[in-house]
Structure 1
Amino acid sequence: MDMGQGSSGGISMMSMMTPWLHFNSSSDTLLLQSWQPKSSGAIAGACIGLVVVCLLERWLSGIRAVMEAYWRNRILVITGTEKKNESSEASSEKCCASGPVIDSVEEQSSKPLRTTTFSRTLPPFILTHDIPRGLLYAVQALLGYILMLSVMTFQAAYIISIILGMGAGEMLFGRMGNIGGHGILH
C-alpha cells in the first residue's frame, strides 16, 4: 500500500496531517475536506462550534438519564410491579409495628411455606420507549464521533475547546442524571 502518493497529483497523505499537538493552521481539515479553517477567526469559529457540540452532547446525556428514569417508572406501572412492592411494604410495616412476633415451633411447622415470586430481570420491549431510546443514543454517538474526529486533527485549540465544552456541559447538565439515582435529591 503506497501512502506516499494520493490520487490528486502526488500529494502525500502524511504531509496533510501534523501528528503532534500544534496551534498552526496550515493544513487541518475539520470533519469535511472543504472545511479547513486557516485564519485565526475561522479557527475561533470552529472552536465555538465544537463547544456547542460538546454542550449538546452533555445535554443529550442528561435527557437520556431523565428519560430512562421516566421509562423505568412507566414500566413499573404497566407491569403492576409498583403496586405489589407497595402492598408488601405496607404489610411488613403493619406486621412489625407492634414488635417482633415469635411463633412456637408447632405453629411454624403448621404454616405453609412461602412461595417465592420472581420479578423480571429485563424490562419488556415497549416500542414507544425503545425507539426514542435508540434515537437518542444514535445522536449522542454521532456527536461523540464528531468530537473524536476533531481531536484526531491534533489541533490544540480544538482539543482545549472540547475539554472546556465537555466540562461546561457537565456543570450545566450533569445533575440531570442524578434525579433518580444516588444524588442529593434521592
Structure 2
Amino acid sequence: MDMSTSNSSTMVMMVPWLHFTGGDSLIFKSWHPSSHGAIAGACIGLVIFAIFERWVNAMRGVLSVYWRTSSSISKPLKVSAVSDGVEEVNISPVPSQRPALRVRRVPRTIPPFLPSHDIPRGALFAFQALLYYVLMLAVMTFQAAYIISIIVGLMIGEVLFGRYAGGAKTHFSH
C-alpha cells in the first residue's frame, strides 16, 4: 500500500500485521514514534488516554443517574386514596349508584425530552465516541505495544471507574 505524498519521494508502507517496530504514524501524520523511548512514551500516553476514556464513561453513568433522579418522571406519584398506587374513582354521574372503580396509574417508561439533560448527554456521548475513534486509530497501526497499552489502560480504567458507569444498577451491601 503506497501512502506517499505528491511532494515527497519517500514511501511510507503500512505494516498489515502485528509488530513491535517503530515508525508508524500514530493519530497524526507528523507523529512517528520510532525510537524505543518514543514508543514507550506513546504507550504511556495511550494507557493514560484509555484510562481517561473509562473515566468519561463512568461520568456518563453518574450523570445519567443524576438526570434520572432529578427529572419529574422518577418522582413518586401522588395518590390520594390508597398508597400502593391504586386510586378509587367514581365513574357514575350520580353519586353512590355504582361501586367505585379502582384505577391503577402506571408510571411512564420513556422519560420525556428535557433539553437540559438530553443535549449534554448527547454531547458527552459524542465526546466519548471521539475517544473511541482515537483509540481505534492507534489499534489500526497494528503496533502490538500500542494495542497492549490500550488494553491495559482500559483494564485499569475499568477497575478504577467501572463501578460508577452502571450508576444505581449495582448495589453494595455489607
Indicate the TM-score class for this superposition, using the shorter chain for normalisation.
Answer: 0.7 to 0.9
- How far the C-alpha of 1:122 sits from its partner, in A, is 1.9
Q: Could you state the TM-score of these two structures normalised by the residue count of structure 1?
A: 0.75
Match of 1:165 among 153, 160, 168: 153
Match of 2:141 among 147, 153, 163: 153
Q: Could you state the TM-score of these two structures normalised by the residue count of structure 2?
A: 0.80
Please give the secondary structure, in 2, of the residue aligned with 1:114.
strand
- For 2:49, the equivalent position in structure 1 comes to 53
Contact 2:2 2:13 in 1 (8 A): no
Match status 1:37 vs 2:33: yes
Q: What amino acid is aligned across from residue 132 of structure 2 in structure 1?
A: G
Contact 2:54 2:157 in 1 (8 A): yes
Q: 1 or 2, which has the higher strand percentage?
A: 2
Please give the secondary structure, in 1, of the residue aligned with 2:153.
helix
Q: Which runs of 5+ in 1 are unaligned?
A: 93-109
Please give the secondary structure, in 1, of the residue aligned with 2:46.
helix
Please give the secondary structure, in 1, of the residue aligned with 2:157.
helix
Q: Which runs of 5+ in 2 are unaligned?
A: 85-97
Q: What amino acid is aligned across from residue 75 of structure 2 in structure 1?
A: E
- For 1:72, the equivalent position in structure 2 comes to 68
Match status 1:127 vs 2:115: yes
Task: Identify if the C-alpha distance between structure 1 residues 158 and 59 changes in structure 2 by more than 3 Å, giving closer, same or farther.
Answer: same
Identical-residue share of aligned pairs (%): 50
Question: After the TM superposition, which segments of 4 or more aligned residues of structure 1 sit over 6 Å from their partners?
Answer: none
- How far the C-alpha of 1:11 sits from its partner, in A, is 5.8
- How far the C-alpha of 1:4 sits from its partner, in A, is 5.2
The 1-side partners of 2:120 and 2:2 are apart by 46
Task: Identify if the C-alpha distance between structure 1 residues 182 and 5 changes in structure 2 by more than 3 Å, giving closer, same or farther.
Answer: closer
- How far the C-alpha of 1:59 sits from its partner, in A, is 0.2
The 2-side partners of 1:4 and 1:46 are apart by 25
The 2-side partners of 1:28 and 1:5 are apart by 12
Q: What amino acid is aligned across from residue 57 of structure 1 in structure 2?
A: E
